[in-house]
Copies of this chain bind each other. A is one copy, B any other.
Amino acid sequence: MNPSFEKLTQRMNQANSLLCVGLDSTIEKIPARFQNEPTPQFAFNRWVIEQTHLYVCAYKPNLAFYEARGDQGWRELKQTMDYLRDQYPDIFTIADAKRADIGSTNAGYVTAIFDWLGFDAVTLNPYLGKEALLPFLERTDKTNILLCRTSNPGAGEFQDLRIGEKTLWQVVAERVCTEWNTASNCMLVVGATYPAELKQVRAMVGEMTLLVPGIGTQGGDVELVLKVGLNENKQGLILNASRSIIFAANPSIEAQNLRDEINQYR
């Protein structure tokens, strides 16, 4: 079995959790007491991880919030990953990077994300096609999570375009499921804000695990997402919340409550 997927499955079972916490640690939004630290994003992340680790199956930093601080942000993201690997090596890690370039160029991103930073998984944009993404797809030890139906309000501009009887996001789901996933190292992103589409994706992809952002601040309905998104084993979902947990006064309680709310509907 793909070792990264095995890691995720074990962690989901051990922590009894489908909850992923998004470490979207915007420098301007982190509490004042961290702002004066020499490495404020890492100090904040470490605190959030200490508060929430019991309740999560995964952490998902979005690279945009670190790149906003240039090389310093990259360094603090690396510190965060080193800390996780050292202290909580059983927690699955997702680089929310939404990368995609032409073939040989992707090798640079593969090295950055899977090797230098050491993530278990990465989010990828499908627009350039499978051939372009082979440097990612050939990593049978890691997980590639392809954008299918994204959580933003304007996601449908291209994703809902009709290709014969199907929408573009349906074609993406189908291709990834039947042609890209030969090494069992692919997942899909489907926003919690689109439960009807989530239901259809689940019907198309069998047991495949789906990364579902958009619960919490973005307003996705937890009960409905679980009802339509779980696979036959009552698993197959990574449910991400970011700001509603990490910027709460008490991230520990928020994470526990959301983990428990999710489990209530499994």
Binding site for B on A (CB under 8 A): 24, 26, 62-75, 78, 96, 98-103, 105-109, 111-113, 116-117, 125-132, 147, 150-159, 161-164, 168, 171-172, 175
Chain B contacts for A161, CB-based, 8 A: 163, 168, 171
A3 to B206, CA, bound (A): 51
Chain B contacts for A112, CB-based, 8 A: 64, 67-70, 73
Contact B68 A108 (CB under 8 A): yes
Partner of A98, one of B63, B74, B75, B99: B99
Partner of A154, one of B106, B125, B129, B147: B129
Partner of A100, one of B117, B125, B162: B125
Chain B contacts for A116, CB-based, 8 A: 68-70
Contact A126 B158 (CB under 8 A): yes
Chain B contacts for A100, CB-based, 8 A: 98, 125
Smallest CB–CB gap between A203 and chain B, Å?
21
Contact B159 A162 (CB under 8 A): no
Chain B contacts for A151, CB-based, 8 A: 102
Q: Known contacts being A70-B112, A98-B99, A131-B153, is A64 close to B105, with CB within 8 Å?
A: yes
Cβ contacts A to B, 22 pairs, < 8 Å? A64-B99, A64-B107, A64-B108, A67-B74, A67-B111, A68-B107, A68-B111, A70-B116, A71-B71, A96-B101, A98-B125, A100-B125, A125-B125, A127-B150, A128-B147, A128-B152, A129-B154, A129-B155, A131-B157, A132-B152, A161-B163, A161-B171
Smallest CB–CB gap between A160 and chain B, Å?
9
